[in-house]
């Protein structure tokens, strides 16, 4: 894990080939990376420029907290899918190295994927409602590209930790029923029982059930660590969004 002033770079686990994309996440210092379909903001354009990315290569989506993944090979493919599915998408996977899949996060987990066998790569947005999107992505990569789960490397990026992700009892129960007891915590604080969701534990459990053997987990809580943007810490009026993207080293 390497940090440059306003972004952080993660390494895919294991011995990955030179064709592996760079997994990047902007930090809070880079400014608000909110996606707008009608034009890029000054903060996003500045960030792309520093990374040497042509803005027209970047794929962005309005997040819906769904488990839907767009499998595309051109920007036009994405527009067609968005028009056909009003419920939207929270992940993008492609085999086209010219494209730069991206999503935004501010406590939810960015998940980066790379298939060594086929070169397919993508990024997912996984919050409590969207946890399970990893299953959609991996199944799609297997069916569409011929990947094997053991060929897919995964990075679980920074997200709000179980230390801070307090939820009500009903939500905790729903999450625990789907993702196992290790995905929720029950603690007594100040004489009151409180419930916490563990996004990382839930996604690691999913990865293992899917047959993913190569994954790396970033041990950082976006609420606790001031370098990261956090909706829960900063509030709806003041929070910013971080940009998670995958950048192929061989775009031409």
Helix (H) or strand (E) holding 133: helix 133-145
pLDDT confidence of residue 250: 74
Write the CA distances from 196 to 1, 61, 109, 167, 214, integer angstroms: 27, 28, 15, 6, 27
Region of residue 113 (phi > 0: left; psi between -120 and 50: alpha; otherwise: beta) = beta
Which residues on neighbouring strands pair with residue 193, listed in sequence order?
A: 188
Write the CA distances from 5 to 8, 25, 130, 146, integer angstroms: 8, 11, 30, 38
Burial class (CB in 10 A: 0-12, 13-18, 19+), 61: buried
Per-block mean pLDDT, blocks of 10 residues, the chain (252 long): 82 87 97 94 96 95 96 95 92 97 98 96 96 98 97 98 96 96 89 94 98 96 97 95 94 58
What is the phi/psi pair of residue 192, to 5°? -120, 140
pLDDT confidence of residue 14: 83
Question: Edge to edge, what strands does the sheet with 2-4 contain?
Answer: 2-4, 7-10, 22-26, 242-247, 100-105, 58-59
Which residues on neighbouring strands pair with residue 100, listed in sequence order?
A: 58
Closest-CA residue to 242 (of 128, 58, 94, 108): 108
How wide is the angle at C-alpha 90 spanned by C-alphas 108 and 110, nearest 5°?
35
CA neighbours closer than 13 Å in the CB half-sphere of residue 34: 8
pLDDT confidence of residue 3: 66
Task: Check: pTM over 0.75? Answer yes or no.
Answer: yes
Q: Residues 148, 220: contact at Cβ < 8 Å?
A: no
pLDDT confidence of residue 119: 95
pLDDT confidence of residue 191: 81
Q: CA 191, CA 142: separation in Å to the nearest integer? A: 48
Region of residue 119 (phi > 0: left; psi between -120 and 50: alpha; otherwise: beta) = left
């Amino acid at each position: 894990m390497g940090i440059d002033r306003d972004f952080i770079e993660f390494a895919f686990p294991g011995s990955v080939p030179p064709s592996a994309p760079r997994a990047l996440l902007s930090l809070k210092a880079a400014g608000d990376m909110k996606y707008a379909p009608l034009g890029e903001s000054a903060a996003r354009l500045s960030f792309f420029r520093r990374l040497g990315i042509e803005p027209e290569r970047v794929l962005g989506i309005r997040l819906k907290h769904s488990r839907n993944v767009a499998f595309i090979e051109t920007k036009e493919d994405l527009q067609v899918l968005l028009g056909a599915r009003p419920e939207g998408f929270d992940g993008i996977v492609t085999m086209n190295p010219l494209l730069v899949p991206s999503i935004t996060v501010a406590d939810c987990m960015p998940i980066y994927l790379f298939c060594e066998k086929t070169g397919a790569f993508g990024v997912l947005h996984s919050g409590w409602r969207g946890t399970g999107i990893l299953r959609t992505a991996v199944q799609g990569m297997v069916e569409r590209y011929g990947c094997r789960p053991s060929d897919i490397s995964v990075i679980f990026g920074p997200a709000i930790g179980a230390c801070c992700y307090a939820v009500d009892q009903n939500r905790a129960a729903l999450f625990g029923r789907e993702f196992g007891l290790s995905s929720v915590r029950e603690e007594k604080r100040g004489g009151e029982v409180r419930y916490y969701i563990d996004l990382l534990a839930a996604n690691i459990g999913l990865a293992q059930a899917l047959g993913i053997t190569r994954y790396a987990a970033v041990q950082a809580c976006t609420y606790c660590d001031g370098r990261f943007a956090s909706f829960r810490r900063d509030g709806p009026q003041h929070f910013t969004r971080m940009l998670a993207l995958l950048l192929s080293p061989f775009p031409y």
